[in-house]
Amino acid sequence: MSMKIGILGYGNLGRGVECAVKQNPDMELKAVFTRRPPKSISLLTKGVGVHSVEEAKNWKEEIDVMILCGGSATDLPEQTKELVKYFHVVDSFDTHAAIPEHFEKVDKAAKEGGKIGIISCGWDPGMFSLNRLYAETILPTGKEYTFWGKGVSQGHSDAIRRIEGVKDARQYTIPVEEALNSVRNGENKELTPRQKHIRECYVVLHENGDREKIEKEIVTMPNYFADYDTKVHFISEEELKRDHMGIPHGGFVIRSGKTGWEEENSHIIEYSLKLDSNPEFTSSVLAAYARAAYRLAKEGQKGCKTVFDIPPAYLSPKTGEELRSCLL
């Protein structure tokens, strides 16, 4: 009685889900759906077919949970609300500001179709959100800080790549050690973007790229770099390929709070991630929440859910008895 999993979208995230399914003995990969020519894709898993996204809905009897592995900019806003008409779905929608709107649309479609749609499963939104929530409810008198990195920011790397004369680029977001320590010491300062994060850029130029002009364009770019201390390193394409092809990431959620009648006692709750592969970790979160979707569906629940709505036990293959005796 293993869960039959479908994957829609076979980039880094989709491949990560494929690997995660392999690590979960109660799951079975049933099919992968893509917008590319299906024959152009070869899976890691033997004996599983690749099909066109247009065919997906014909598989609705075959698949228990469809994991949506598209991007948040254009794919998921369309796909999740459409696919949840036919499948229980899980996505990693991560445009924070647009989550309420995405939720409403998915909720409406899911309720009409009698399905479960779990959105925004990953690490931020996702595990970081959960930790913000738990920490804030336990220590209501306090202050919360989220730091990201050290890790590759795709959006910031893309912004550099769009500059004329740039051939390729990788941007690392790095938390400032002094800021982290100040928070851990319970100093509860207001911290500016510049005080919290450094932005480090590795840039490969086109032959005629103007080093000085490009560096200035990067460090003064509004929203992306102007509010930060930004370091720019020009490197060769070989160096980029040799040293910067990984997709590491991570970060810290820290809450500093007070208890006691006169708020005389201080407490620090810290959650941190150090990830070799940002997409594979997100994929692993998606797989765990696919199990939750399956369980909720078995109970006859429907509608849109987030990590806030899911009892933690639903993520685990263990029974309640096992969890209480092994993990509690």
Q: Which residues bind its own copies (CB under 8 A)?
A: 16, 18-20, 22-24, 44, 96, 99-100, 103, 120, 125, 127, 129-134, 136-141, 184, 259-261, 265-277, 280-281, 283-285, 288, 291, 306-313, 315-317, 320-321, 323-325, 327-328
Q: Which residues pair with 232 in a beta bridge?
A: 201
CB of residue 73 to its own copies, shortest distance in Å: 18
The DSSP annotation for 111-164 comes to HHHT-EEE---SBTTBHHHHHHHHHHHH--SEEEEEEE-SEE-HHHHHHHHTST
CB of residue 150 to its own copies, shortest distance in Å: 13
Q: Among residues 195 and 266, whose Cβ is nearest to its own copies?
A: 266
Cβ–Cβ < 8 Å for 261, 148: no
The SS3 assignment for 103 reads helix
CB of residue 273 to its own copies, shortest distance in Å: 6
Phi and psi torsions of 80, nearest 5°: -60, -50
Spell out a b/e string for 155-181, using b for 16 or more CB atoms within 10 Å of the CB, else e.
ebbebbeebeebebbbbbbbbbeebbe
Q: Among residues 133 and 226, whose Cβ is nearest to its own copies?
A: 133
Taking CA atoms, 231 is separated from 195, 217, 245, 248, in Å, by 15, 12, 19, 19
CB of residue 164 to its own copies, shortest distance in Å: 35
CB of residue 170 to its own copies, shortest distance in Å: 18
Q: Among residues 86 and 147, whose Cβ is nearest to its own copies?
A: 147
Q: Among residues 6 and 279, whose Cβ is nearest to its own copies?
A: 279
Q: Among residues 168 and 280, whose Cβ is nearest to its own copies?
A: 280
